Structure 1
């Protein structure tokens, strides 16, 4: 994690009353999952399955794919580093601004890096690198790439492997997963996270899906036992009960639209459009670090300072929609900050 991460609340001694810095589904905590893990606590007495086989079996059935098209990982980030290691010393294009771990993983594994801005990404974009990294929906902008456009890109670039990060696919109803393209194209790897949509970031669980040859190639670099016993049990439970715990997208989207509209009425900030529950705010005065420190010290509110996203600067912050009460805390705090900056 060379460039840092957004959710750094652990660094602060004061109480965090509202954490807008993380894109985790705020209503996803499950008492039923907690009880399930308590009931399976004895699994920590032994080594976990080397490759999370029982979780993969449940997942394969749910997705209607073969088990050897899947690889369980310790959060999506492990997948990015495994892929970069598998293609050591290759060339990579990263569509920015985006999650910094793609670039970090590539740097560690001696990739020659190229960058393209999201606003320039389309079905007619040209790539001449070995790998292309795309977050869809994108973090931090909330922008999306339509499946038909991805289909064109895969068709037009058979010599490039596309890594599609779908960690936030359950936070939008504008697009759905592109998993069905896996069987059509041999140059697509999709990485999925269970930590954001199911609100279990502390358990670290995700998976990648690709054709069997690519999965086997990547799996060669994977250490055993990276997915622990409780994460395996959580994964099986969540996949089997996903309808009960996934974010209610229509409600979430409506809440985000209302939240963004109220924020947009505050002088000195610009709200960027989004297809997800999180979005960028551009500051017309002041800078992101000063604002972050002000919100923490005065209100116990944590936001994402977005200046370390390549392609952005200290004029940007990212926030995620929380419940109405917490959203109002940020609205009130930013109104006070705005008045201070107009004096």
Structure 2
């Protein structure tokens, strides 16, 4: 999907409040912004061809074995590289979820089976080659049980489990499977640096896997895919910035208030989420609501009707500061 994602602010030049993108509120950390401003000279030279310097830094930071990290041009590139490496195979995708798993699989001729996420743990994996899971799930914030997920990986050693952990930093609990990597060679974890550090425009992600998988993926890529500023941002983040758990906890608390307030508006139904983003079912078309809010309130939401399994009435929002959240609440009340 080239268009149809959130953060399509380029189509709405007068947006004041952007609820459509699942990045941390508040924007880029001031120290990271200052650092990038001070090292603009790096764009005068070619970057590290494969980003291996940053990969080694992450391996050291996370106490992972050498050759288990690969830097990617955003998490999305990781999905396409994985689908290409296993082209023509059979994949299972739980829905509703991020559309790029399906798009990547279709591009590389996968046979795809779709199951609703509520069937996780009950479906059989016979004949499958890959299983794609987003945890926490985009767009609804659903969290897959860690023990069940590990058991599925352990019981199916011949199936590759691709676990997208782009949003694990937006939780009060640690659900990452990073500690499982040394034990399970059929596990690929995809991570994003753009969400927690609010740098989606730099396109920076990475994946964790057994070194044999990493080696295979490297054989597919062209040099200089990751630009110099993105690599510089990654090096700085892993050297200088820790996730402020207290700040995240504050946003999670505000998310619960925000969800409850919207759910109390007549005609609107929130699907409860434990993270900073959530789905809302409106009593009318989400596309109509999105355009109205954008043009009349300068507020942008994510029309979620193009997620497989969702109707035209669904939209997604990501928590902002209380003052901004209240403006969306009031705008929705007007429609109610």
TM-score w.r.t. structure 1 length?
Answer: 0.94
Question: Residue in 1 aligned with 2:210?
Answer: 211
SS at match of 1:207: strand
Question: Residue in 1 aligned with 2:295?
Answer: 297
CA contact (8 A) 1:194 1:235 kept: yes
CA contact (8 A) 2:59 2:66 kept: yes
How far residue 57 of structure 1 moved from its aligned partner, in angstroms, is: 2.0
Any idea what the Cα deviations from partners look like across 1:169-188, whole Å, max 9, x if unmatched? Answer: 00112343111111111100
Q: Distance in 2 between matches of 1:326 and 1:153?
A: 41
SS at match of 1:84: helix
Q: Distance in 2 between matches of 1:118 and 1:261?
A: 24
Q: Distance in 1 between matches of 2:131 and 2:328?
A: 36
Question: Residue in 2 aligned with 1:66?
Answer: 65
Question: Residue in 2 aligned with 1:35?
Answer: 34
Question: Residue in 1 aligned with 2:152?
Answer: 153
How far residue 121 of structure 1 moved from its aligned partner, in angstroms, is: 1.1
How far residue 2 of structure 1 moved from its aligned partner, in angstroms, is: 4.6
Bigger mean CA deviation after superposition, 34-43 or 19-28? 34-43
CA contact (8 A) 2:196 2:243 kept: no
Long gaps (5+) in structure 1: 339-343
How far residue 27 of structure 1 moved from its aligned partner, in angstroms, is: 2.2
CA contact (8 A) 1:279 1:318 kept: yes
Question: Residue in 2 aligned with 1:11?
Answer: 11
Q: Distance in 1 between matches of 2:4 and 2:312?
A: 15
Q: Distance in 2 between matches of 1:316 and 1:337?
A: 15
Question: Residue in 2 aligned with 1:101?
Answer: 100
How far residue 67 of structure 1 moved from its aligned partner, in angstroms, is: 3.2
Q: Distance in 2 between matches of 1:104 and 1:33?
A: 33
How far residue 125 of structure 1 moved from its aligned partner, in angstroms, is: 3.4
User: Which ranges of 4 or more aligned residues in structure 1 deviate by more than 2 Å?
Assistant: 1-4, 244-249
How far residue 267 of structure 1 moved from its aligned partner, in angstroms, is: 0.3
How far residue 39 of structure 1 moved from its aligned partner, in angstroms, is: 2.2
Question: Residue in 2 aligned with 1:317?
Answer: 315
Cα pair distance change 1:55/1:246, threshold 3 Å: farther
How far residue 61 of structure 1 moved from its aligned partner, in angstroms, is: 1.0
Bigger mean CA deviation after superposition, 285-294 or 71-80? 285-294
TM-score w.r.t. structure 2 length?
Answer: 0.96
CA contact (8 A) 2:19 2:318 kept: yes
CA contact (8 A) 1:130 1:159 kept: yes
CA contact (8 A) 1:170 1:247 kept: no
Q: Distance in 1 between matches of 2:246 and 2:113?
A: 35
How far residue 239 of structure 1 moved from its aligned partner, in angstroms, is: 1.2
CA contact (8 A) 1:147 1:175 kept: no
The match for 1:127 among 125, 128, 136 is 125
SS at match of 1:263: helix
Question: Residue in 1 aligned with 2:326?
Answer: 328
> RMSD across aligned C-alpha pairs, in angstroms?
1.4
How far residue 6 of structure 1 moved from its aligned partner, in angstroms, is: 1.4
Question: Residue in 1 aligned with 2:82?
Answer: 83
Question: Residue in 2 aligned with 1:253?
Answer: 252
Long gaps (5+) in structure 2: none
Bigger mean CA deviation after superposition, 225-234 or 26-35? 26-35
Question: Residue in 2 aligned with 1:308?
Answer: 306
Q: Distance in 2 between matches of 1:204 and 1:313?
A: 30
How far residue 247 of structure 1 moved from its aligned partner, in angstroms, is: 7.6
